[in-house]
Chains A and B, each alone.
Chain A
Amino acid sequence: MNSKLKQNSVGIVKPETIEINETLRLDCGKLLDSFELIYETYGSLNSEKSNAILICHALSGDHHAAGYHHKDDKKPGWWDSCIGPGKPFDTNKFFVVSLNNLGGCRGSSGPNSTDKKTGKEFGPDFPIVTVNDWVNSQKLLGDYLGINCWACVVGGSLGGMQALQWAISYPEKIKNSIIVAAAAKLSAQNIAFNEVARQAIITDPDFHDGRYNDHGVIPKRGLSIARMLGHITYLSDDSMRQKFGRDLREGKLHFGYDVDFQVESYLRYQAQAFVERFDANTYLLMTKALDYFDPAADFNGDLSLAFEKTDSRFLVVSFTSDWRFSSSKSHEIVKSLVRARKNVSYAEIEANQGHDAFLMPIPDYLKVLSNFMENVG
């Protein structure tokens, strides 16, 4: 652990796992009789249990949002820039809960866990879960922790969709919602990117219809390509130009199909690292959850009607260079909230990091979050 970070870090954290023995009826029609969720908490819950913040992760995120697991960890949790003493989600004031979502591959029930009915790994048979299912499972986690109402539910990208769904599904159980770099539904272009990623995985000869673990292999090539494609869409043209330009890795062209340019080397490295930590079935499931998200569908396509029952305050944030979930998608959310006459603020942060900006410590962004959080609780 970097000693410089120590003073405003939550420090060493330890995940907990709970087994929830309550039947969860999923949107796909299937029932989950029991399931496990792994989560971390930072800060302490006050006696009124009114200071809890729920952190919702994006496609490849997990429960480890802040702090370190071991003192020699090189990197802290994925949103350490925002969670900790004196940070926007101030652990001196708030009790922060971060979980790995159902269907994940980092400790919560998902394709990698054992199906109690068969005694075998779920693999591809783990049901496809939706954002709505996640929110329902998160509500049960809240019940377990004794949290009847969240002071704030927050997330970026797919996490922002969960924060949005919370206000719709449990309007009385959420006081504030922060929706960062998200969308009320995906566009055809978004779905197309996800489909290419899925095809890369499914057509990998090592995929074996999702039973790759039984064959002692993993669909590395497919998952790598899916990640490379995803990664390109998370960056902006500008940020890639700044980071790599057309720099050559070895200073000369090779006139072959191995790595010539730095950007190729970077993508391969990122893909390799991803394959080692992520599961292909989970990746497929997460992209489907993204594609299916459309809360307005239950309200005749009118998102503002979906917000009718909530008294939550909202903060919507987008980034200028994000083209995966562009500002126009955030506008759609803001417009619906305004039409429903909800308390909503919207900031469009100047940033050249593309969609990934939501994970970065951009001063204006952190300040917007802090300013909003000042009026929470």
Chain B
Amino acid sequence: MERKDFKFISEWIQKDSTVLDLGCGDSTLLDFLRTNKNVSGYGFEKDIDKVQQSINKNISVIQADFNSGLGQYFDQNFFDYAVMTQALQENKNPDKIILEMLRIAKEGIVTFPNMGYWKNRLQLGLFGKMPISNSLPNNWFDTPNIHLCTFKDFEGLCEDLNITILDKKVLNSNYNSDNLLNFLPNFFGEIALYRFKKS
């Protein structure tokens, strides 16, 4: 498995649980969770090529845009976990998506890039340009990231939405963690993982 954040996510997930992966890509995470945690679940994915790869892995994948509403598919607390990796910032309404995740699942897990990372701050604050970094590689005009936030912003939103953060992990763009990151996460951290539930 290439993505180390998947390993951290896996540590948060109970054995034999049910998982929904929103924007599951080629279903590497669901495949990993199935093998290591005996997890069953579904992936949502818009892109046909990634749907093909998921079907090839024998993962249950539904080709659909989850922004068009999950309510039609899933009742309340249908899953143990709803996961979204590196896609929150691409959504039209991240706040609504988070609430929807917590309607259909008991817990939510998201990962996203930190706009407050010091290199991003430097590029915008000192050089006056939209930041480009390892975790934010696109230009301002072609980025899919329409709702970027900092870790502080996300935690503020959780407070407003009455959401309790259960776990948090801060990583650099190589998905590693170190003491520096934990010392000033919103400054040194590039990617964060959060596990949360309704308060």
**Do A and B interact?**
yes
- Interface residue ranges, A against B (CB under 8 Å): 313, 315, 331, 334-335, 338-339, 341, 343-350, 364, 367-368, 371-372, 374-375
Identify which of B47-55, B143-151, B186-194 touches chain A. Answer: B47-55
- Cβ–Cβ < 8 Å partners of B138 in chain A: none
Question: Does B140 count as interface, using CB distance less than 8 angstroms?
Answer: no
Within the complex, the shortest CB–CB distance from B52 to chain A, in Å, comes to 5
> Is the Cβ of A345 less than 8 Å from the Cβ of B62?
yes
Interface hits, B28-59 → A, CB 8 Å = 40, 42, 48, 51-56, 58-59
Closest to A339 in B: B75
Contact B55 A344 (CB under 8 A): no
Contacting residues, chain A, for B58 (C-beta < 8 A): 313, 375
> Which of B53, B56, B58, B63 is the most central at the interface, judged by chain A CB atoms within 10 Å of its CB?
B63
A371 touches B55 (CB 8 A): yes
Also in contact, A348 and B63, with CB within 8 A (given A367-B52, A368-B52)? yes
Does B54 lie within 8 Å of A364, measured CB to CB?
no
Q: A335-B73, A338-B42, A338-B73 are in contact. Are A348 and B55 (CB under 8 A)?
A: no
Judge if B60 is at the interface, Cβ distance under 8 Å.
Answer: yes
> Contact at B63–A374, with CB atoms within 8 Å?
no
Whether A347 contacts B42 in the complex (CB less than 8 A), given A335-B73, A375-B58, comes out as no
The answer to whether B72 has its CB under 8 Å from any CB of chain A is yes
- CB-CB nearest in chain A for B61: A345
Chain A residue at minimum C-beta to C-beta distance from B20: A338
Q: List 18 A-B contacts (CB under 8 A).
A: A331-B64, A334-B62, A335-B72, A338-B62, A338-B73, A338-B74, A339-B74, A339-B75, A341-B18, A341-B40, A345-B59, A345-B61, A346-B64, A347-B48, A347-B63, A368-B51, A371-B53, A371-B55
- Nearest Cβ distance between residue A87 and chain B, in whole angstroms? 16
Give complex CA distance A157, B91 in Å: 35
Q: How far is the CB of A374 from chain B (nearest CB, A)?
A: 6
Collect the chain A residues with CB atoms within 8 Å of residue B60's CB.
343-345
Count of A-B residue pairs with CB < 8 Å: 54
Q: A339-B73, A345-B61, A348-B63 are in contact. List 15 more A-B contacts (CB 8 A).
A: A331-B72, A334-B62, A338-B62, A338-B73, A339-B74, A345-B51, A345-B55, A345-B59, A345-B62, A347-B51, A347-B55, A367-B52, A371-B52, A371-B55, A375-B58
B100 to chain A minimum Cβ distance, whole angstroms, is 15
Give the residues in chain B near A344, CB-CB below 8 Å. 60, 62
Q: Which residues from 53 to 89 on chain B have a C-beta closer than 8 Å to any C-beta of chain A?
A: 53-56, 58-64, 72-75
Chain B residues with CB below 8 A from A331, complex form: 64, 72
Interface-centre pick from B18, B53, B73 (highest chain A CB count, 10 A): B73
Bound-state Cα–Cα, A346 to B60, Å = 8
CA distance A133 to B72 in the complex (A): 32
Is the Cβ of A346 less than 8 Å from the Cβ of B56? no
Chain A interface, DSSP helix/strand/loop, else mixed? mixed
- Are B48's CB and A346's CB within 8 A? no
CB-CB < 8 A to B52: which residues of A? Answer: 347, 364, 367-368, 371
Count of interface residues, chain B, beta-carbon cutoff 8 Å: 21
Q: Which residue of A lies closest to B54 (CB)?
A: A345
- Closest chain B CB from A114 CB (angstroms): 47
Chain B residues within 8 Å of A343, by CB? 60
Please, which residue of chain A has its CB at the minimum distance from the CB of B56? A371
**8 Å CB interface, B72-129 against A:** 72-75
Residues from chain A with a CB closer than 8 A to the CB of B61 are: 345-346
Give the residue among B40, B54, B60, B72 with the most A Cβ atoms within 10 A.
B60
Supposing A346-B63, A347-B48 touch, asked if A374 and B75 sit within 8 A by C-beta, the answer is: no
Q: Is the CB of B62 within 8 A of A374?
A: no
Contacts of B40 in A (CB 8 A): 341
Which B residues are in CB contact (< 8 Å) with A334?
62, 73
Within the assembled complex, what's the spacing in Å between the Cα atoms of A345 and B54? 9
Query: Which of B18, B48, B62 makes the CB contact (< 8 A) with A364?
Result: B48
Q: Are A315 and B42 in contact (CB under 8 A)?
A: no
Inter-chain CA distance A206–B44, complex, in Å, is 54
How far in angstroms is the closest Cβ of chain B from A34? 42
Q: Which residues of A contact B42 (CB under 8 A)?
A: 338
Residues of B within 8 A of A348 (CB): 63-64
CA A339 – CA B53 in complex, angstroms?
A: 24
With A346-B63, A348-B63 as contacts: A374 and B56 at CB distance below 8 Å: yes
Chain A nearest CB from B197 CB (Å) reads 22
Contacts of B54 in A (CB 8 A): 345
- Cβ distance B34 to chain A, nearest Cβ, rounded Å: 11
Q: Which residues of A contact B73 (CB under 8 A)?
A: 334-335, 338-339
Q: Please indicate the chain A residues that have their CB under 8 angstroms from the CB of B53 in the complex.
A: 371
Among residues of B, the one whose C-beta sits closest to the C-beta of A364 is B48
In the assembled complex, the Cα of A341 lies from the Cα of B41 at a distance in Å of: 8
